[in-house]
Structure 1
Amino acid sequence: MASPGPDRVASGSPIPAKRYTKGDRTKERIVDAAAELFSKSGYLAVSLRDIAAAAKLTHAGTLHHFPGGKDELLMRVLERRDQVDADVLFDEHFDAWDHLGQLVRIIERNARTPGLVALYAKLSNEASDPDHPAHTYFRRRYEILRDHFAGILGELADGRFDPGAAAQHLLALLDGLQTQWLLAPDVIDMRARLMDFLALLGIDTSRWEPTSG
Structure 2
Amino acid sequence: MIFNEGSDAESLYFILKGEIRIFKNIGLDKEITIFTRTKNDAFGEIGIFSGTRYSNTAVAAKSSQVQCIDKHTMENIIAQNGEIGLHFTRWVAESLEASKAKMRDYIAFGSEGAVASVFIRFSNMYGIVTPRGIRIKQQIRLSDVSKHLGISRETVSRIVNKWKEDGIIQSENKFFLIANIAYLQNLLACNHCALENCTL
**TM-score clears 0.5:** no
Tell me which of the two structures has the higher relative contact order, counting C-alpha pairs closer than 8 angstroms and 6 or more residues apart: 2
Q: Which has the higher strand share?
A: 2
Between structure 1 and structure 2, the one with the greater Rg is 1
TM range (shorter): under 0.3
TM-score by length of 2: 0.24
TM-score by length of 1: 0.24
Q: Which has the higher helix share?
A: 1
